[in-house]
Chain A
């Protein structure tokens, strides 16, 4: 087909040729833009998820400031009740103060080193061990034990032995304790 014939053909069929050319362009456009919709949808999904996460963070943090303040205050109080393992003088003083407050006689007091088992969890505090033995009447010994367990410092008793004289019950009781106090190195 020569150029003249082609020109004549186009001239004779302007509608079909025009529509055919337009269809070709549109088909090319559809083909080229077809990948953009899934991409745009992916981006939209990612951004929606991100926006939802941010919105949820904000929603969940409505009372976070107050809660964080309360927790910080609690931690400040905790810090005042934590002993320092290295401060032997202060630790000894605490037990002698208990002795004078309760009236018991401190017959043994030793601060021991605690070997902690390896744990996965990272901890802030470590227990400080003490071996304590006191003598006194039942009210004195009980008062000493109560003050120790619910006193200034956090304490847990690992083992305890309380004994009296079976043949002379008016004799003082002996309380031996193996205890731990929560502390920092």
Chain B
């Protein structure tokens, strides 16, 4: 149904320029020829907006419900596992304390080389012409004082060979430097060549003794 106001509006649109003939149109009685009314579009937009908002609102509510549902499920898991987890943590702390003591002992034992093993190895590999006079273990390494049998020229060769032998011994790998500490010299008391080696411990401060 066309409103009265509308019809008046249309009437006012009539040409203001004087026509070449009289206008006999009666706008009040003319039929409404609009196929689709403006109200249809207004209603359509309003319905579309309402539906869109309803869908959006429904979606957000569904999403929120989903999240809350998941949260509730996880809360259940937390309540189920909490006690066992706390017991495990307490037990682990005890384990850590015990482990620290074991590690402390292990560190203590491994902090220094086993001297008896080194002496045994030196004894096993000692050449026939060489005798050990003194072994002196210090923080930096081992000083070996030796007596070498033979004439000075031969004895010096034995000493050099023995030093090479010590250097190539895989069981003495805890030492990284094998050196003569002084020139070999004859010992007037024993009549043998006095030789002194220094075996430097790996990782120890540099220098002899």
Contacts and interface: CB of A to CB of B under 8 A. Distances in A.
Interface of A: 13, 15-20, 22-23, 26-27, 29-30, 33-34, 36-37, 40-41, 43-44, 47-48, 50-51, 53-55, 57-58, 60-61, 64-65, 67-68, 71-72, 74-75, 78, 123-125, 127, 138, 142, 145-146, 149-150, 154, 156-164, 166-167, 169, 182
Contacts of A125: 101, 104-105, 108
Contacts of A124: 100-101, 104
Interface of B is mostly: helix
A30 B57 contact: yes
Interface of B: 39, 42-43, 46-47, 49-50, 53-54, 56-57, 60-61, 63-64, 67-68, 70-71, 74-75, 77-78, 81-82, 84-85, 88-89, 91-92, 94-95, 98-102, 104-105, 108-109, 111-112, 114-116, 119-120, 123, 131-139, 147, 187, 189-190
Contact of B46 (A19, A72, A156, A167): A19
B50 A26 contact: yes
B56 A30 contact: yes
B71 A47 contact: yes
A169 B192 CA distance: 14
Given A20-B50, A157-B112, 15 more contacts: A22-B53, A30-B53, A30-B60, A36-B64, A41-B67, A47-B75, A54-B78, A125-B101, A156-B111, A158-B139, A159-B136, A159-B139, A161-B134, A166-B147, A166-B187
Given A36-B64, A166-B133, A159 B111 contact: no
Given A54-B82, A154-B105, A167 B74 contact: no
